[in-house]
């Protein structure tokens, strides 16, 4: 907002000789930096008074949108609000200041946190043992597949190189299988968005069951749908000697409702940063612990030194403890209720390609009325004008105008009603004043950017306004 007045860069506000600091008295006498280490000319640093610096950075920070400012319905990400207490626990110097090479007898507390978190994860998932080493969800997938590969090799089953992946899977699933040196075979989904069991049966017959290493499933899947055919699928895969892998990135709505271990899965990963509290905007750090059923733990590989991203582990443990055994069970049902409430309240104006009960998130295929020419991109941009973060758009790739909404369990009914009201308002504007929506955003520091131009002619340097 004040950017025009105050300049985009602190350098543009610089005035020669202006100072906003004072240094303490020189206590070193007339010591001089050796001549060969001295600069030939003065460093090009901004010279500003204190208030200019304070206002510049405060105004910049106010241009940022975060969950502490407003509702953030980004799909496929889950944890958006990360309770502050978890940050405080992770920052405790007794944990944060540990060195990984300290003698083991001085790090017993951190070890206990790891052991206790693994125990809690076993209880929540119904699996037997966990390793905390993987650094992310995708790293967990790779770790899990390495375990599966070693298991088959330990039995002399060298030919098992195929991994069955549904067409709705997150892109990391086939990528991890490929990195692990395995081959991917895709199984189709039904029109209702879940895995087609008959297609799986045919696929197994075609490729030969004795070649199947594993099947990877995400549940609820990337459309937010519970895979109801897991018992039949598990029977088919186990029947030919393959193992079942559970991509647990969407574990949030399962908390307290159902456990992958009880569904017959052998190996899974959990995205601690998605289900158990760690801010992950900007891409990390995260943690992707891997759990296995009894008998597979000897195959845990060494995928990182020490205990992975320990601060993420600390946050997860603090989060689980602060909810406690009884309240952790409310997470899944509340997230599911909030998502279904939004879906049902908007499905008369937004296209719902797959109807029925969803879990923690769901996907619209743009506005219902396609005659206005208003796209998902336009709706997302217009939401910014109303002070909402946009949902995930154009993912999953199954639909042309995907708009993926995930409210999470911690939002109040009033907040959710406010969002529903604005989404309806935008649908109305699309009819009465489509140009208003197509040219949005209007109230943000930067208006509609030209993505095509940005991709074709990227300008990655900034030309400074001259103040001379």
Ligand X SMILES: *Cc1c(COP(=O)(O)O)cnc(C)c1O
216 near ligand X, judged by CB under 6 A: no
- Identify the CA nearest to 148 among candidates 34, 266, 18, 8: 266
- 163, 145 Cβ separation under 8 angstroms: yes
Considering the complex, state which of residue 107 and residue 172 has its C-beta at the smaller distance from ligand X.
Answer: 172
CA dihedral over 335, 338, 341, 347, signed as positive or negative: negative
Q: Which of 196, 234, 247, 266 binds ligand X (CB under 6 A)?
A: 247
Segment interacting with ligand X (CB under 6 A) among 66-74, 133-141, 159-167, 363-371: 133-141
Residues 362-401 that bind ligand X (CB under 6 A): none
Quote the least distance from Cβ 165 to ligand X, whole Å: 11
Q: Pick the stretch among 22-30, 131-139, 155-163, 189-197 that binds ligand X (CB under 6 A).
A: 131-139
Least distance (Å) from ligand X to the CB of residue 222? 6
Q: Are 411 and 341 in contact (CB under 8 A)?
A: no
CB of 398 to ligand X, least distance (A): 14
Q: Which residue is nearest to ligand X (CB)?
A: 137
Instruction: Report the site for ligand X in 404-463 (rule: CB under 6 A).
Output: none
Segment lying near ligand X (by CB under 6 A), choices 135-143, 201-209, 423-431, 446-454: 135-143
Q: Considering the complex, what minimum distance in angstroms separates the CB of residue 254 from ligand X?
A: 13
The CA distance from 180 to 195, in Å, is: 24
Binding mask 173-212 for ligand X (x = CB under 6 A): ----------------------------------------
Q: In what order do the strands lie in the sheet with 212-218?
A: 129-131, 290-292, 267-270, 243-248, 212-218, 162-166, 183-187
292 backbone dihedrals φ, ψ, rounded to 5°? -135, 155
Find the binder of ligand X among 52, 189, 194, 218 (CB under 6 A): 218
Residue placing its CB nearer to ligand X in the complex, 74 or 185: 74
The span of 190-198, 242-250, 397-405, 427-435 binding ligand X (CB under 6 A) equals 242-250
165 three-state secondary structure: strand
3-class SS of residue 58 = helix
Helix (H) or strand (E) holding 460: none
Chain residues 273-312 in contact with ligand X, contact rule CB under 6 A:
286, 288
Which stretch, 244-252, 300-308, 412-420, 439-447, contacts ligand X (CB under 6 A)?
244-252
Which residue among 48, 110, 136, 427 contacts ligand X (CB under 6 A)?
136
CB of 72 to ligand X, least distance (A): 16
Instruction: Confirm if 63 and 445 have CB atoms less than 8 A apart.
Output: yes
Nearer Cβ to ligand X (172/340): 172
Q: 87-105 b/e with 16+ CB inside 10 Å = b?
A: bebbeeeebeeeeeeeeee
DSSP letter (8 states) at residue 285: -
Nearer to ligand X, 362 or 386 (CB): 362
With contacts defined by CB under 6 A, name the span among 105-113, 208-216, 246-254, 368-376 that binds ligand X.
Answer: 246-254
φ, ψ for residue 255, nearest 5 deg = -55, 120
CB of 357 to ligand X, least distance (A): 19
Residue 7 vs 260, nearer CB to ligand X? 260
DSSP string, 203-239: HHHHH-GGGEEEEEEESS-TTS---TTHHHHHHHHHH
Tokens found for residue 294: 């009894």
- Of positions 52, 56, 75, 76, contacts ligand X by CB under 6 A: 76
Min. distance of Cβ 271 from ligand X in angstroms? 5
User: What would the x/- binding string for ligand X be over residues 159 to 178, using CB under 6 A?
Assistant: -----------x-x------
Beta bridge mates, 164? 185, 215
Q: Is the torsion defined by CA of 455, 457, 462, 468 positive or negative? A: negative
120-124 contacts, C-beta under 8 A, 24 or more apart: 120/317, 120/320, 121/270, 121/289, 121/291, 122/291, 124/255, 124/259, 124/320, 124/328
What is the CB-side half-sphere exposure of residue 221 using CA atoms within 13 A? 26
Q: Which of 222, 278, 309, 402 binds ligand X (CB under 6 A)?
A: 222
Please, how many CA atoms are within 13 Å of residue 288, restricted to the half-sphere of its CB?
A: 23
Binding site for ligand X (CB under 6 A): 76, 136-138, 170, 172, 218, 222, 247, 249-250, 271, 286, 288
């Amino acid at each position: 907002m004040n950017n025009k007045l105050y300049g985009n860069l602190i350098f543009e506000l610089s005035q020669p000789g202006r100072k906003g600091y004072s240094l303490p008295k020189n206590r070193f006498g007339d010591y001089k930096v050796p001549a060969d280490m001295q600069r030939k000319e003065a460093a090009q640093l901004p010279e500003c008074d204190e208030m200019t610096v304070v206002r510049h950075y405060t105004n910049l920070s106010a241009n940022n949108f975060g969950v502490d400012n407003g509702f953030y319905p980004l799909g496929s990400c889950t944890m958006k609000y990360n309770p502050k207490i978890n940050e405080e626990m992770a920052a405790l110097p007794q944990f944060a200041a540990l060195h990984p090479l300290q003698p083991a007898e001085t790090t017993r507390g951190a070890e206990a946190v790891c052991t206790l978190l693994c125990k809690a994860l076993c209880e929540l998932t119904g699996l037997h043992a966990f390793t905390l080493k993987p650094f992310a969800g995708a790293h967990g997938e790779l770790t899990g597949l390495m375990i599966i590969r070693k298991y088959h090799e330990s039995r002399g089953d060298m030919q098992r190189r195929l991994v069955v992946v549904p067409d709705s899977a997150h892109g990391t699933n086939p990528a991890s299988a490929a990195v692990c040196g395995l081959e991917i075979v895709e199984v189709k989904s039904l029109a209702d968005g879940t895995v087609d069991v008959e297609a799986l049966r045919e696929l197994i017959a075609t490729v030969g069951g004795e070649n199947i290493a594993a099947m990877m499933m995400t549940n609820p899947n990337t459309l937010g749908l519970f895979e109801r055919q897991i018992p039949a699928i598990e029977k088919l895969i186990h029947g030919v000697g393959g193992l079942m892998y559970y991509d647990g990135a969407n574990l949030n709505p399962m908390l307290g409702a159902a456990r992958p271990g009880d569904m017959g899965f052998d190996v899974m990963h959990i995205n601690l940063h998605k289900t158990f509290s760690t801010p992950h905007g900007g891409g990390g750090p995260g943690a992707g612990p891997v759990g296995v059923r009894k008998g597979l733990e000897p195959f845990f590989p060494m995928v990182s030194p020490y205990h992975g991203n320990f601060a993420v582990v600390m946050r997860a443990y603090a989060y689980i403890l602060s909810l406690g055994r009884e309240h952790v069970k409310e997470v899944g049902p509340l997230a599911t209720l909030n998502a279904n409430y939004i879906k049902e309240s908007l499905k008369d104006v937004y296209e719902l390609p797959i109807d029925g009960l969803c879990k923690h998130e769901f996907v619209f295929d743009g506005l219902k009325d396609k005659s206005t020419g208003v796209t998902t991109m336009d709706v997302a941009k217009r939401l910014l004008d109303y002070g909402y973060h946009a949902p995930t758009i154009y993912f999953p790739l199954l639909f042309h105008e995907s708009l993926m909404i995930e409210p999470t369990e911690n939002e109040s009914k009033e907040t959710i009603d406010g969002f529903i009201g604005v989404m309806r308002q935008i649908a109305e504007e699309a009819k009465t004043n489509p140009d208003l929506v197509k040219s949005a955003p209007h109230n943000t520091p930067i208006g509609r950017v030209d993505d095509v131009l940005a991709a074709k002619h990227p300008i990655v340097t900034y030309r400074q306004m001259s103040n001379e």
